Structure 1
Amino acid sequence: MSDDGHDLSGAWTGLFNYPAHLPQTEFQARLRDLAGSVTGETTETGGHLGLTGTAHGMIEGHHEGGILHFTKIYDDLDHAGHPIHYRGTIAAGGDEIEGRWDIPGAWSGTFLMIRNPAARQSATRKARQSA
């Protein structure tokens, strides 16, 4: 657990918004949090920005003081050269994160992530069993 008292491990559902008239995009994320160091993967339906099918991304970052920073890189070779930087505020209960994303020099927008309560309970049970 990090110094802000949150373990962000688990399944998350989110939305991100573009700066223009493009529709919101829903994504799923699975995070692993080890003392504030966060890794994971995202999945989203393609169709935006020229992606087709399902788009996968890898994330790596950290959180401290109630703020999560991470970078997402798509595994699609055409988009892998454009890392996306996220910065969000973790809500008091640790189950919601809201903030902004940015592709430097190109695009930016907002995002919201909400943890799946059932996945959190399962992760908590597993952690207790292994302790």
Structure 2
Amino acid sequence: MEILGEKWTMVVLREVFSGIRRFDDMRVRTGIPRQVLANRLSALVGHGVLRREPYREPGARVRHEYRLTEKGFDLYPVMIALAGWGDRYLADPEGPPIRLVHRDCGAGVDAELRCADGHPVTDHRAILPRPGPGAKRRIENEKG
């Protein structure tokens, strides 16, 4: 959550996933204050989620656009799951403002959970948290 937990971060990622890569375009589309947007982009670059690519309009200085890294692209299922949640609980009666579709066939795309053996997990209560290989035992402070 250190990387994704700030409220504007997911908005910035939504824009980049939608093909908006330039600072001014993001600022106009989202209304994010200039310094906040600069900070979010810098943090996402610093964490390796985005990379900066230079470009130059004729007669203008070099600027940068922001592209997803492999680490950033791996957030796509998260973005799809968030969009699905919003579509289910927050969409207008007419429907969601955007549809995510498969480029090859045009069918809708949604996030689906599967276990490592390939079984679909449709009942979220069937998911159990277990300590992983990196888990560390918590030591409680003794008062005395």
TM range (shorter): under 0.3
More strand by share: 1
Mark the structure with the bigger radius of gyration: 2
TM-score, length of structure 2 as denominator length: 0.25
